[in-house]
Amino acid sequence: MAYTKRIDDIDRTGSAGHTSGTNSANSTEDSRRTLRRVGDALITAGVALGALTVALMLYLQRGTYDPMDVLVLLAMCATIAGCPLCVVAGVIVRIVGAMPPATPQPSRDVRASGRARARDRPDTAR
């Protein structure tokens, strides 16, 4: 028996099986939750890169050097560059995810704001 999709199962965008619209509260909360998780992952990655940087520095300060230690030095340079980037990006994404959703502003009418067009003004020059 084949599954047939009913017209009621198709939302406004035309995709079947998707029950929440793009502007619904559930979708907004899911997006905010995803942003918070991504922010937490970036902060965790930044902390891990910081710990790895410290471990690589301690490894390079052991006193004996091999020719392959240049690869460790290059890896340490990459972790030094990546650590603050991940932490700052994670904090920014986390803040964006914590912000409340924007409420739509009412449309502004040009005439209602007091800025009438020149042809709408009374003729004062006599």
The answer to whether the pTM exceeds 0.85 is: no
Q: Quick one: residue 7, left, alpha or beta (phi over 0 = left, psi -120 to 50 = alpha)? A: alpha
- Residue 126 — pLDDT band, cuts 50, 70, 90? low
User: pLDDT by residue (tens digit) across 64-115?
Assistant: 888 889 999 999 999 999 999 999 999 999 999 888 877 776 666 555 555 5
pLDDT at 28: 82
pLDDT at 100: 81
- Residue 3 — pLDDT band, cuts 50, 70, 90? low
DSSP SS3 for 47:
helix
Of these ranges, 11-15, 54-58, 63-67, the one predicted with the greatest mean pLDDT is 54-58
pLDDT at 99: 86
User: pLDDT by residue (tens digit) across 17-45?
Assistant: 545 445 566 788 888 899 999 999 999 99
- Number of helices (H) and strands (E) in the chain: give both, helices first: 2, 0
CB pairs under 8 A, 24+ apart, for 29-37? 32/97, 32/98, 32/101, 33/97, 34/97, 35/93, 35/94, 35/96, 35/97, 36/94, 36/97, 36/98
Q: Specify whether the CB–CB gap between 49 and 83 falls below 8 A.
A: yes
pLDDT at 121 over 50: yes
Burial of residue 86 (CB within 10 Å: 0-12, 13-18, 19+) is buried
pLDDT at 80: 95
Tokens 């995803």 -> residue: 34
**What is the pLDDT averaged over residues 8-17?**
49
Domain boundaries, the chain: 26-97
